[in-house]
Amino acid sequence: MNVPAPLRRSLALRSHVPAARWFRQLSTFEKVIIANSAIIILDTLAGWWITQHNPEVYHYLIDTAFIGLAVFLGLSVNFLLLRAAFAPLHGLLATIRAVEQGNLEARVSEHENDADVLTLARAFNGMLDQLARARNESAARVLRAQEDERRRLALELHDQTGQSLTALALHAEAIAHRLTGETSASAEQARHQAERLSALAQQTLTEVQALSRRLRPALLDDLGLAAALRWLAEDAAQRLGITMRVIVRTDERLPGDYETALFRIVQECLTNAVRHGNATEAACLLRRSGDSVALTVADNGAGFDQAAQRSRRLDHSFAGGSGLEGMQTRVRPLGGSLAIRTLPGHGCCVRVVLPLPAPVHLADVSR
C-alpha cells in the first residue's frame, strides 16, 4: 500500500515509542488515516476469506450482511475517533469564548493526547500570557503616572494654592484690624466684609489641604503605609461617617508601589462600603509573613451578589463595577491575588496577598 510521505516520516520518527504512547502522539490526520486504512484492510481480508470458505447458496446473503456490517463499523469507528479527536478543540473554543467575555485568566488545558491540539493549546496559552504581561506592564505604567500626577497636584495645592490662600487670609485680617477703630457705617461694613473674607479664605485653605491629603497623603511617602492607614481611618470617620479599626503587624517599610497599591485598595474599600453598602464599621489588618504581605479589609455593610455583579461587569452596557476592577488592576502587575467574600446582608471582606520582591544585595549588584 502506498503510504503518504508525511505519515511515513512520522512513523519513522516514532518507531522507538511504545504502541499506546505512540498512537496518542499521532496527529488527528494520522489517526484517521491509520484507522481508515486498518478498516479497509480488515474488510478486504474478511471478504476474501468469506468468499473462499462459504457455500455458494449463502454467498449473497453473507456478503450483503458483511458489507452492511463493515459500513456500520467504519462509520462508528470514524465517528467515535473524530469525536474524541476534536473534543480538545471544543475546550479551546470554550476558552476563546471565556476570554472574549472578559475572563482574561482562562487558559487551555495542555494535558491533551493530540499532538496538533497540544501545540495549538501551548501557542494560544503563550499568546495569552504575553498579552497578560503586556497588560500588566501597561497598567503599572498608567498607575505610576497617575500617582506621580497626584503627587504633583497635591504638592501644588499644598504649596502654591495654600500659600496664596494664607496670604489672602492674612491681608483680610490686616484690613479688618485696620478698620477696627473706625466708627462710620461704611468702615464698619468694610470690616465685616474683611472678616468674612478672612474666614472664607481659612475655610477654603482647610478644604484645599484636605483635598491635597486625599490626592496623595504626605504620610504615605514620609512615614509609610501604617501611618497613612491610620490617617485614612480618621479622615473616613470625619468625612464618611464610618469607624475603621486599623491593625498593623509589621514595622518594616514596603516598596513604594506596594504601599501605594495597598493604600488605594483600602481607600476604595471604604468608599464602596459607605456608598454601596451603607456600612458603619470596618476593620483593616495588614500583616507580613515571610516573603509576602497580606491585607484584609472587612465591613458590616449590605454586601452584594458576586455572580450578579460579575455578569453585569461583563455586560458592556453596564458602567459600574469599576472599583473592583480597579483593585484587580492594582494587584495584577505586582503578581498578587485578590479574593472577595460577601453575601447580600452579610457585609464584605476583601483579602489581598502580594508576594514581595527578593532583596537585592550589594554583592549581587557588584557582580
For 108, residues 6+ apart whose C-beta sits below 8 A from its C-beta are 91, 92, 95, 121, 124, 125
Verify that 95 and 227 share a domain, yes or no. no
Instruction: Tell me the C-alpha distance between 174 and 98, whole Å.
Output: 68
Verify that 100 and 224 share a domain, yes or no. no
Buried b (16+ CB within 10 A) or exposed e, 51-74: eeeeeeeeeeebeeebeeebeeeb
For 279, residues 6+ apart whose C-beta sits below 8 A from its C-beta are 242, 273, 299, 300, 301, 302, 347
Q: Is the dihedral of CA 234, 239, 243, 245 positive or negative?
A: negative
Q: Does residue 158 lie within any of the structural domains?
A: no
Verify that 227 and 98 share a domain, yes or no. no
Verify that 222 and 342 share a domain, yes or no. yes
Cα–Cα separations (whole angstroms), residue 184 to 172, 179, 195, 366: 19, 10, 17, 79
Verify that 82 and 223 share a domain, yes or no. no
CA angle 123, 126, 130 (to 5 degrees): 140
Q: 245: which strand partners?
A: 283
Q: Are the beta carbons of 350 and 340 closer than 8 angstroms?
A: yes
Q: What is the pLDDT of residues 162-180, one digit of tens each?
A: 778 788 888 888 887 777 7
Instruction: Tell me the C-alpha distance between 349 and 232, whole Å.
Output: 18
Verify that 85 and 227 share a domain, yes or no. no
Q: Does residue 179 lie within any of the structural domains?
A: no
Q: Does residue 85 lie within any of the structural domains?
A: yes
CB atoms within 10 A of CB 100: 10
CB atoms within 10 A of CB 284: 24
Give the single-character DSSP code of 2. -
Question: Can you give the residue range of the structural domain that contains 354?
Answer: 218-367
Verify that 229 and 359 share a domain, yes or no. yes
Q: Are the beta carbons of 117 and 26 closer than 8 angstroms?
A: no
Of 59, 80, 106, the domain-final residue: 106
Verify that 223 and 367 share a domain, yes or no. yes
Cell numbers of 293, please?
504581605
Cα–Cα separations (whole angstroms), residue 99 to 102, 104, 134, 318: 5, 5, 16, 18
For 330, residues 6+ apart whose C-beta sits below 8 A from its C-beta are 143, 261, 264, 265
Q: Does residue 200 lie within any of the structural domains?
A: no
Q: Does residue 224 lie within any of the structural domains?
A: yes
Instruction: Tell me the C-alpha distance between 99 and 134, whole Å.
Output: 16
Q: Does residue 13 lie within any of the structural domains?
A: yes
Residue 297 sits in a domain of what CATH number?
A: 3.30.565.10
Q: What is the pLDDT of residues 179-196, one digit of tens each?
A: 777 777 887 788 788 888
Give the single-character DSSP code of 295. E
Which residues of the chain fall short of a pLDDT of 70?
1-30, 33, 43-44, 47-64, 67, 71, 75, 85, 111-115, 306-322, 359-367
Q: Does residue 244 lie within any of the structural domains?
A: yes
Instruction: Tell me the C-alpha distance between 122 and 119, whole Å.
Output: 5
- One-character DSSP codes across 226-288: HHHHHHHHHHHHHHT--EEEEEEE--SPPPHHHHHHHHHHHHHHHHHHHHTT---EEEEEEEE
Instruction: Tell me the C-alpha distance between 338 and 266, whole Å.
Output: 12
Of 54, 83, 106, the domain-final residue: 106
Of 106, 132, 150, the domain-final residue: 106
Specify the pTM: 0.61
Total count of domains within the chain: 2
Q: Does residue 362 lie within any of the structural domains?
A: yes
